[in-house]
Chains A and B, each alone.
Chain A
Amino acid sequence: MIELLLLVPLVTALLCGLSRNERHIYIFSVAGAIIMALVAIPFCYEAFFEGPIDTWLWYMDSLSALFVVIIVVIVAMVSVYSVDYQRHERTEGELTIKDLRYYHSLLHIFTLTMLLVVIVDSLGLMWIAIEATTLASAFLVGFYKKSEAMEAAWKYLIICSVGITLALLGIILIYASSVGVLGEGMDSLDWSVLSSVADQLDPALVKVAFIFIIIGLGTKAGLAPMHTWLPDAHSQAPTPISGLLSAVLLNCAMYGILRIHLLAEAAVPGFSSSLLVLFGLLSLIVAAIFILTARDLKRMLAFSSVEHMGIIALGFGIGGPLAILGALFHILAHSLTKTLMFFGAGNVIQKYGTREMKDIKGLWKAMPTTAIMIVLGGAAIAGSPPFALFVGEFLILSGAIASGSYLLAGVFIALITLIFAGMTYRIFSMSSGTPQEGLPSGEIGKLRLVPMFLLAAAVLILGLFFPDVISDALGSIVDLFEEMIG
């Protein structure tokens, strides 16, 4: 029964909220995350290999299992990292115990809401869960009491709420289109029911519904014209949180889009995939523009999230077994690499005290281990081969070529190379030269390097090999897509 999985973060949030001294909060937070990971394994295994778990309120098939795995892994990494990150901030007196309690409890509530999004069966409940994630993360974005953080939180809240309202309108229209076929029964918004009857939905309503969904959830997923909140929220939020936002929150919104995309593609073949391709390309173009002239490190990483969300949308838009496998693998690879890069950025910002990339010089000499992580992570995030993101882009490119859209493949290559150039230039010029004098060399904390090593190793291994367990898991999702769309 999946409630147990949801119970763990709730309990950890309460425990963190109530405990008084600092050590307890850390222990509860990390222990809670790890227990959640352990609890999730059997459910995901069952969902991947035995078939979807369909209880009264919850519906967990292989697609949601992938997202559960990502949420669980990244939250574990973030909680371990934020322990060390905040210990440093506490020594500098920026954080009070109250803030710490506030931070860790909100972190686990945020995880709970994200788990809800991917487990729940009915689209309405999914919408409510997404709205809840916005509300939970609004406070995390506005965590620091500075005016910029406030401004970023307000913009995040308003733009995402508007987006989600439009998404609700889309869901209502989907519901309206299904009323004609199913009648008004309680379950006509459940995905399992809708997916079985997807091809008889009223096409006109489904088309308008998907437009609202892609605009609404696209805002949450950071697709191009609606991405404007993303760089502000990520640059002002505490770094572990911006890692969580980039790696997991955007994916949950993409999960919502995918659910409706499956329905819409069955009802009106070709419509939703061309929209996904359009928004994917727009995101790549916007990301390229802003990465080439980026000055702030975390804003650059935020725009790289826009880029990778664009690539994922492009992958699903192109369709075909190759591109879908590529997009799924890209989701996994992107969350791992982006968290690694945000952790690296966190170390750099805490050491240099600034986010301006032109003031950060001589990383190799100041903090060699983080420098290795950032250089390899930078190469990975830019999509160079021995790392996992390249395999994702490779599969999506082969999907595009297999489906015969050569112009799209050409534009894709051009944009990716442009972003590769911009990203690598910034990262490698940060790590060259000599640091400004008076900067003590050496790492800030030891514990924070553990999650970074794990992530770097995972990204490298996934880049070179494709273990069977992952290939079977992603294969089952691809079969799900094929049988719905193919």
Chain B
Amino acid sequence: MFPEVLPTLLLTLPLLGAFLALVPKGENARVISYLCASISAVSGAIWSLYVLLQGTESYVLPLPSVWGEYAICLDSFGALILLITSLIFASVSMYSLFSREGITARGASLFNLFMLSVVMAMVADHVLLLLVAWETMSLTSFLGVWGNREDKDTSAAWKYLVVTHFGAMLVIASFIFISLESGEVRLSAISGVSSSAGTLVSATLIMMLVMGFGSKLGLLPFHIWMPELYGRAPSAFTALLSSAASNVAVLVLVRAIFGYIGVSDQVTTAMIVMALAAVTALWGALQALVQNDSNRVLAYSSMENMGLILLTLGAAMLFQSYGSSEAAAFAIMAAMFHLISHTVFKSLLLMASGTVRRATGEGNIEKLGGLARTLPALSAVFLVGILAVAALPPFAGFASEWAMFKSLMHAEIITDPAIQMALPLAIATMALATAIASVAYLRLYGFIFMGRPRSQGAACPRPVEINELFPFLPMALLCLLLGVMSLPLLTQLASSVSPLVGLTSVDVVEGWSINMSHMGGLNALGLSIVLAIGILLTFLAVRSLGKRSLARGDTWDCGTQLDARTQYTPTGFSQPLLRVFNKIYDPQTTVSEEPRPSTYIRSVRFQQNLPEIFIDNFYRPLVSGVIFVSTKAKKMQNGSIQTYLAYLMITLIVLLVVLR
């Protein structure tokens, strides 16, 4: 086959698409630009399949850069992530095409440019190309998620740009150090910098990389931009941001830590990373529980999932530091498997919530409800996404979460008991985070689709045409497929991850079940089949009892007339858990009573707001401090020429006297 055509198609079509979207007026130009994007995505998928079969491919691009020729290279590890990201790009481009949401010139061109930068960052083999692609990704996504450019959109998107820029500067500094230390410019040639750089230096490098990429993944101190941005941005871009951008971040992070730097004994760094990731996951889950905007819930859920992935990667670093590469390989494989499944179900959910928002014109789940009856197909697709994200068996989330749990259950590898405590604590936080998160997801689904509609928009939503649902089908199918047929994906992941930790091959998969040598395995296919048979048998058994009679009556209402307000609200649903974790939320509740004419009837207003801890006691003081210092220092430019000349003279005298 002609391998060169595929990468050239992959990299040049988005440029053509962006050009087509901007220059010619008229809408069909934008439709063609989206088609260019999806064709390039499909060619990307085919190329990654080709690489999976034939092995690594690398090309030198004829474009000169400051540090020599740019180059791209795709190995089997990157191919897997590129495959899943291309599929997501294809379906998201279809989504924005059919949902007419991204049909503006700006939306189409930025979609193409964003896709190009993501793909370029994934396949980059040259240090500068990777760094430029990485930050162009955040710039193009910034311009994309800038929404309809109201002031609130700008401040939300600006926070995203600045935080990711700071993260990118850390990444740039560490990659510069890596390439200078190893003397190489081609990424594929760099490996094991830690041996020459010493443990302390490589520890700082790893921490800089984790914090740098963490700013994009929503690691704790840098997560402030996520909820606000997801709430305000168009759903096509939030879907891409949470899936494609996180894929690139984790892919490059894993390659950098395990490949380029190499983990020898980084126990303290691993512990710090695990602690940070665990707290991020818990914080994400807890916050997802109390959000009222559907996109904000999904934003915190991305934060929680990324926290889990980083936790497992931290554990992999810990195992690697104690010399057990096999356990480290299994942990990395579990993390990447969860990343892949997260890409699928998170973009499905974000697009579905975007469709809900457009159909009802309402983003706040307090005002939704009862959509399952009016939009059954959409609710079915949303349910598949929710079951996958809540890690319930037949779907993708379950298999990857199972793998992550199993990878943490290797405490016996660690010799000194103090560090051994880390793993059970990690499992405890992971279990708590996943449990609370599944409550949040259930609340999200339950109060959008079930019960009675709570607003006019929800009562009669705009009907969703068939072609709008078209992009959801492959994603839902993929969710199920990844859950049920996870075996081929895992064998491929195992073989491509093992070179990272210096093993020739890791046999984590035996016969039909994923089996980490002795620790008990999971036969995802068998489990789903038995589950399906169980449900089928019950259905047949009950049908054999004869014709059923079904009558429709009112919901049990103890005599009072039920309407939109006499049913549970999402805030009410999360009150018990909010009270359990009162110390963490510390909600400010104000209960006010308005006097009413008759003494018997009182109208009471219950108002509760949850402070954002990180913004209130870290970012807000920081910003006001900087502004205070600079306003004080601005007095320096007070306009009088005498003072300006005085500065000149004082600097001169001081320099002359000091440097005599």
Residue in contact with A385 in the complex, picked from B132, B146, B643, B659, CB distance below 8 Å: B132
Chain B residue at minimal CB-CB distance from A362: B149
Q: Is B143 touching A375 in the complex (CB atoms < 8 A)?
A: yes
Q: How many residues of B contact A (CB 8 A)?
A: 54
Q: Is B180 touching A215 in the complex (CB atoms < 8 A)?
A: no
Q: Is A385 touching B136 in the complex (CB atoms < 8 A)?
A: yes
Q: Is A397 touching B135 in the complex (CB atoms < 8 A)?
A: no
Mark out the residues of chain A between 270 and 288 whose CB falls within 8 Å of any chain B CB in the assembled complex.
271, 275, 286, 288
B190 CB to closest chain A CB (Å) equals 15
Q: Is B648 touching A432 in the complex (CB atoms < 8 A)?
A: no
Residues on the A chain within 8 Å of B634, using CB: 289-290, 293
| Bound-complex Cα distance A431 to B166 (A) | 23
Q: Is B173 touching A409 in the complex (CB atoms < 8 A)?
A: yes
| Bound-complex Cα distance A168 to B12 (A) | 56
Mark out the residues of chain A between 72 and 109 whose CB falls within 8 Å of any chain B CB in the assembled complex.
none
Q: Is B66 touching A417 in the complex (CB atoms < 8 A)?
A: no
A303 CB to closest chain B CB (Å) equals 10
Give 18 A-B contacts (CB < 8 Å), ordered by A residue.
Answer: A162-B648, A211-B652, A225-B648, A226-B648, A229-B644, A289-B630, A289-B633, A292-B627, A293-B630, A293-B634, A329-B66, A384-B139, A385-B131, A413-B169, A420-B162, A431-B149, A468-B64, A471-B66
Chain B residue at minimal CB-CB distance from A385: B135
Q: Is A428 touching B656 in the complex (CB atoms < 8 A)?
A: no
Q: Is A211 touching B656 in the complex (CB atoms < 8 A)?
A: yes
A460 CB to closest chain B CB (Å) equals 11
A395 near B: Cβ within 8 Å?
yes
Chain B residue at minimal CB-CB distance from A413: B169
| Bound-complex Cα distance A441 to B135 (A) | 33
| Bound-complex Cα distance A11 to B655 (A) | 44
- In the A-B complex, the 9 residue pairs with the smallest Cβ-Cβ separation, listed nearest first, are A385-B135, A228-B644, A432-B154, A289-B630, A432-B149, A421-B162, A398-B176, A225-B647, A386-B136
Q: Is A158 touching B645 in the complex (CB atoms < 8 A)?
A: yes
Residues on the A chain within 8 Å of B151, using CB: 429, 432-433
Residues on the B chain within 8 Å of A335, using CB: none
B504 near A: Cβ within 8 Å?
no
A418 near B: Cβ within 8 Å?
yes
Q: Is A225 touching B656 in the complex (CB atoms < 8 A)?
A: no
Residues on the A chain within 8 Å of B651, using CB: 215, 225-226
A394 near B: Cβ within 8 Å?
yes
Q: Is B627 touching A364 in the complex (CB atoms < 8 A)?
A: no
Q: Is B64 touching A467 in the complex (CB atoms < 8 A)?
A: yes
Interface of B, helix, strand, loop or mixed by DSSP: helix
Q: Is A397 touching B637 in the complex (CB atoms < 8 A)?
A: no
Residues on the A chain within 8 Å of B173, using CB: 397, 401, 409-410, 413
B629 near A: Cβ within 8 Å?
yes
| Bound-complex Cα distance A474 to B652 (A) | 33
Residue in contact with A417 in the complex, picked from B153, B169, B629, B659, CB distance below 8 Å: B169
Mark out the residues of chain B between 115 and 161 whose CB falls within 8 Å of any chain A CB in the assembled complex.
128, 131-132, 134-136, 139, 143, 146, 149-151, 153-155, 157-158, 161
| Bound-complex Cα distance A116 to B155 (A) | 47
B68 CB to closest chain A CB (Å) equals 9
Mark out the residues of chain A between 344 and 392 whose CB falls within 8 Å of any chain B CB in the assembled complex.
364, 375, 379, 384-386, 390-391
Chain B residue at minimal CB-CB distance from A215: B652
Residue in contact with B135 in the complex, picked from A231, A275, A289, A384, CB distance below 8 Å: A384
A425 near B: Cβ within 8 Å?
yes
Residues on the A chain within 8 Å of B146, using CB: 428, 432
Mark out the residues of chain B between 608 and 648 whose CB falls within 8 Å of any chain A CB in the assembled complex.
626-627, 629-631, 633-634, 636-637, 641, 643-645, 647-648
Residues on the B chain within 8 Å of A286, using CB: 636
Q: A211-B652, A289-B630 are in contact. Are A428 and B135 (CB under 8 A)?
A: no
| Bound-complex Cα distance A155 to B656 (A) | 25
| Bound-complex Cα distance A166 to B157 (A) | 48
| Bound-complex Cα distance A432 to B146 (A) | 9
Q: Is B66 touching A432 in the complex (CB atoms < 8 A)?
A: no
A340 CB to closest chain B CB (Å) equals 17
B165 near A: Cβ within 8 Å?
yes
A154 near B: Cβ within 8 Å?
yes
Residues on the B chain within 8 Å of A275, using CB: 655
| Bound-complex Cα distance A409 to B162 (A) | 19
Chain A residue at minimal CB-CB distance from B117: A386
Residues on the A chain within 8 Å of B169, using CB: 413, 416-417
Q: Is A420 touching B655 in the complex (CB atoms < 8 A)?
A: no
A338 near B: Cβ within 8 Å?
no
Chain A residue at minimal CB-CB distance from B129: A464
| Bound-complex Cα distance A429 to B633 (A) | 24
A366 CB to closest chain B CB (Å) equals 12
A128 near B: Cβ within 8 Å?
no
| Bound-complex Cα distance A329 to B165 (A) | 22
Residues on the A chain within 8 Å of B150, using CB: 432-433
- Sample of 10 more A-B contacts, CB < 8 Å, known A433-B149, A465-B64: A159-B644, A226-B651, A228-B647, A364-B149, A384-B135, A391-B128, A417-B165, A429-B155, A463-B132, A471-B66
Residues on the B chain within 8 Å of A211, using CB: 652, 655-656, 659
Residues on the A chain within 8 Å of B128, using CB: 391, 394
A195 near B: Cβ within 8 Å?
no
B177 near A: Cβ within 8 Å?
yes
Residues on the A chain within 8 Å of B176, using CB: 394, 397-398, 401
